[in-house]
Copies of this chain bind each other. A is one copy, B any other.
Amino acid sequence: TTATPLRVIDTSESWEWWGRCWGYVLAGAGLTENDRLFVPFSFGPFIGFWAAVEGAKGIKALMIPGGGRDSLQRLHLMKELGATAMCCTPTYALRLAEVARDSGFDLCEIPLKTLIHAGEPGANIPATKARIESVWNTKCYDHAGASEVGAHSFECEIQPNGTHAIESEFIVEVLNPETLEPVPAGEQGELVITNLGRIGYPVIRYRSGDLVRLNPESCECGRTFVRFEGGVLGRSDDMVVVRGINVFPSAVENLVRQCEAVEEFRITVSTEREMAHLTIDLEISKNADEETSRHTVDQAIQNELSLRPEIKVVPSGTLPRFEMKAKRFHVEK
């Protein structure tokens, strides 16, 4: 999101449609009426995971709302009520795991087998996805959507390195953001969306700002819906040019998360003497070695992005934690 939040009002028909789209998301991740879906969310006016509630109703899974309590209370509630699935941001899944560890709560006591993510990239960033799956001992699914268009894509149980677009509810096009001409399958472009069932707020050929790469190959899951290879790859407005190199936050996150010891991080792009400068603050695990961690991240970024960031290890607990969308990437103008 680049500007002030958009205010959208859904009619009851549109709201049913949201639920239908989320039915695809939940069923895609293998949820059935036997599942108990925990939604740890504050249920305010931000649409966020509200539609997951409707989706759960549609597929007749039990929905357990987790509003109005702190992270540790949520963990206890999930254990007590036997949650088998959870919808949250990737950031919050990691945050909950951190709270569990710090308070001696054993995550294995929750019969969770499925995590469904949204709200920010992460479930499609290989190192972040691996981290989440390892701390929770679950499968972790990606999903993408936006308040202004709806929930448009989801990962199926085959997980073919990408998400399916819900082509029964959306027309998707991938265009060159400069020329607005369609790009060939396999090439990266901007996702342009038309939603088909949102009576109260239709959008026609809406420029999402999301960068995707189409893969029209059939999927073993049997769905004929086209796939976004690797999910949403980034946002056209997220890109920062550092010393002539195009840098996407998700690419940096993937490299940082590859270092096992990293618990939290912050990336800052500042300008010094008219040159862009990349700083990375790291919080690392208690027993990890500072020098090794710094070196690992430094090497990964130099190798992959040809950039030499300034890397600092900061004391544990100094970086902000997030319950919803994280803000780990800062550009100082």
B12→A45 contact, CB < 8 A? no
A42→B57 contact, CB < 8 A? no
In the assembled complex, the CB of A302 is this many whole angstroms from the nearest CB of chain B, namely 41
User: Which residue in chain B gives the minimum CB-CB distance to A54?
Assistant: B57
Residues of A at the B interface (CB closer than 8 Å) are 9, 11-12, 15, 41-45, 50, 57, 60, 62, 64-69, 77, 81
A69→B57 contact, CB < 8 A? no
Q: Could you say which of B15, B42, B45, B62 contacts A64, with CB atoms under 8 Å apart? A: B45
In the assembled complex, the CB of A324 is this many whole angstroms from the nearest CB of chain B, namely 9
Q: Could you say which of B15, B60, B62, B68 contacts A43, with CB atoms under 8 Å apart? A: B68
Distance, CA A57 to CA B69, complexed state (A): 26
A67→B81 contact, CB < 8 A? no
Give the chain B neighbours of A44 by CB distance below 8 A.
65-69
User: Which residue in chain B gives the minimum CB-CB distance to A62?
Assistant: B9
User: Which residue in chain B gives the minimum CB-CB distance to A10?
Assistant: B62
Distance, CA A9 to CA B77, complexed state (A): 15
Give the chain B neighbours of A60 by CB distance below 8 A.
11-12
B81→A66 contact, CB < 8 A? no
A-B contact pairs, 27 of them (CB 8 A): A9-B62, A11-B60, A12-B57, A15-B57, A41-B67, A41-B68, A42-B42, A42-B67, A42-B68, A42-B69, A43-B43, A43-B65, A43-B67, A43-B68, A44-B65, A44-B66, A44-B67, A44-B68, A44-B69, A45-B64, A45-B66, A45-B77, A45-B81, A50-B65, A67-B67, A67-B68, A68-B68
User: Which residue in chain B gives the minimum CB-CB distance to A66?
Assistant: B44
In the assembled complex, the CB of A44 is this many whole angstroms from the nearest CB of chain B, namely 4
In the assembled complex, the CB of A56 is this many whole angstroms from the nearest CB of chain B, namely 9
Give the chain B neighbours of A64 by CB distance below 8 A.
45
Distance, CA A77 to CA B7, complexed state (A): 12
Give the chain B neighbours of A15 by CB distance below 8 A.
57
Give the chain B neighbours of A62 by CB distance below 8 A.
9
Give the chain B neighbours of A77 by CB distance below 8 A.
45
In the assembled complex, the CB of A12 is this many whole angstroms from the nearest CB of chain B, namely 5
